[in-house]
Amino acid sequence: MNKDRAVLRGRNLTRRWGGVVAIDDVSIDLVQGEIHALIGTNGAGKSTLVNVLSGEVPASSGTVELEGQDVTRWPQPRRARAGLGRSYQRTTIFAPFSVLENCRLAAQARFQHPWRWMSPASACGESGDAARSAASRAGLGHVLDREAGRLSHGEKRQLEIAMCLATDPGVLLLDEPLAGMGAEETARMLELLASLAEGHAILLVEHDMDAVFRIAGRITVLADGVAIASGAPADVRDNPAVQTAYLGGAR
């Protein structure tokens, strides 16, 4: 695949909530093999952009293209089956189920076969294998049988990623995977994200500036729903508009 071809492409995306414009004419490209970080203050529209890209919230205007295909009108589950995975800012796991079952259920989305009602889900080899490999990739191979609700906070965040991976996506939209993590957990997660960049196009929404500048290949800055800068980390850091709007004030 051409390394520069965008796997996911948002074009002129706008989302209005009544009179409030959450994101305004934002365009963003995600490229295979690169972590594209999305930063901005609270309420800048980062989560809205993720929701619009993943199909959870329809765009008021603009288009979303996945692998060159216009998916703007596709509902979220269809986009997900086409390879668009996402994680949530607030941990969104199946707390009463085991770690393995969390991943297996996510993987099952690719092998749904609901009409095979006689055969137990646990006998579905494809989803079981995908679940095990996703869990161990995310560093949860040793707690497969633990109830997800009893994991530590950091492990729950890892499980979020594992469930994403279990669906075998080409694109990962990760909404603040480092939120609330300790230093050691953060380091482990960054290592995981860096290793995932190879096979995926990743959008990383993050508050932790150190982490972002260390890991991202490209950064887009949102302020009040508008993309005020986009480019290589060094360029973004030196951009005067960014410094006034965000970096200078906050840091």
Partner 1 sequence: MRARTAGIAAALLVLAAVPLAGGPFAVDFVTKTMLYAILALSLELLVGQVGLVCFGQAAFFGVAAYAAVLLTPASGPAPLWWLLPACLAATGLFAAVVGALSIRTRGVYFIMVTLAFSQMAYYVAHDTPLGGGTDGIYLPAVPSVAIAGFRLVDLGRAVPFYYVTLAFLGAAFAFLGVLLRSRFGRALAGIRVNEQRMRAAGFSTYPYKLAAFVLSALVAGLAGFLFAVKDGVVNPELLGWHVSGTVLMMVILGGIGHLHGAVVGAFAFALLQEFFMSEAIFGSFAKHWHLGVGLSIILCVALMPRGLVGGLRRSAADEQG
Check binding of 32 to partner 1 (CB under 8 A): no
- Checking 1-4 for CB contacts under 8 A at 24+ apart, the result is 1/32, 3/31, 3/32, 3/33, 4/31
* Size of interface with partner 1, in residues (CB under 8 A): 43
Check binding of 145 to partner 1 (CB under 8 A): no
Binding span for partner 1 by CB under 8 A among 20-28, 58-66, 108-116, 178-186: 108-116
Least spacing, CB of residue 110 vs partner 1, in Å: 7
CA 4-176-112 angle, to 5 degrees, is: 75
Alpha carbons 204 and 174: distance in angstroms, whole number: 5
Structure tokens at 103: 């991943």
Alpha carbons 181 and 160: distance in angstroms, whole number: 13
Check binding of 92 to partner 1 (CB under 8 A): yes
Check binding of 132 to partner 1 (CB under 8 A): no
Closer to partner 1 by Cβ: residue 46 or 79: 79
Check binding of 17 to partner 1 (CB under 8 A): no
Are the beta carbons of 96 and 149 closer than 8 angstroms? yes
Check binding of 113 to partner 1 (CB under 8 A): yes
| Binds partner 1 by CB under 8 A, chosen from 43, 96, 180, 182 | 96
Identify the CA nearest to 215 among candidates 38, 89, 17, 27. Answer: 38
Closer to partner 1 by Cβ: residue 78 or 214: 78
Check binding of 75 to partner 1 (CB under 8 A): yes
Q: How many Cα atoms within 13 Å fall on the side-chain side of residue 44? A: 20
Check binding of 66 to partner 1 (CB under 8 A): no
| Binds partner 1 by CB under 8 A, chosen from 54, 158, 186, 239 | 54
Check binding of 163 to partner 1 (CB under 8 A): yes
Residue length, the chain? 251
Identify the CA nearest to 223 among candidates 82, 24, 62. Answer: 24
Closer to partner 1 by Cβ: residue 85 or 225: 85
Check binding of 74 to partner 1 (CB under 8 A): no
The C-alpha R_g of the chain, in whole angstroms, comes to: 18
Check binding of 19 to partner 1 (CB under 8 A): no
Are the beta carbons of 163 and 60 closer than 8 angstroms? no
Task: Give the bridge partners for 67, in sequence order.
Answer: none
Least spacing, CB of residue 239 vs partner 1, in Å: 33
Residues within the interface to partner 1 (CB under 8 A):
54, 56, 75-78, 80-81, 85-86, 88, 92-97, 101, 104-106, 108-122, 124, 127, 147, 149, 163, 166-167
